[in-house]
Amino acid sequence: MRTIVFSLFLLLAGCASESKRVTMDDVSDTDVERYNESVSTPQKLICTREVQVGSHFTKKVCRTQAQIEAAKRQVDEILRNTGADATNSDGG
């Protein structure tokens, strides 16, 4: 239920102004803390500031613990498959 409320908040904030696109930079740390108090650990948001490719500016990026773990599993799988391909290569 809290996830739906938070999603609606972001959606409505985006609809409130046609001239400005709402990003995670527009969501305050207090809003994130309130949201995290209402959900279980895998759904808690973890926010970081990341430099975007091709820019020196940082952007606030928020992901759930579940999303972070899923991304790590994907990277591990890709690296595992790439490593297997490299060792099986005949140097061709």
Average pLDDT, integer, range 75-80: 92
> Which pLDDT band holds residue 13 (cuts at 50, 70, 90)?
low
Which residue ranges make up each domain of the chain?
Answer: 2-64
Q: What is the pTM of this model?
A: 0.58
CA angle 47, 74, 37 (to 5 degrees): 30
**pLDDT value, residue 17:** 44
Residue 38 has pLDDT above 90, yes or no: yes
Rg (CA), the chain: 19
- Pairwise pLDDT comparison (6 vs 53), residue with the higher score: 53
Q: What percent of the chain has pLDDT over 70?
A: 66
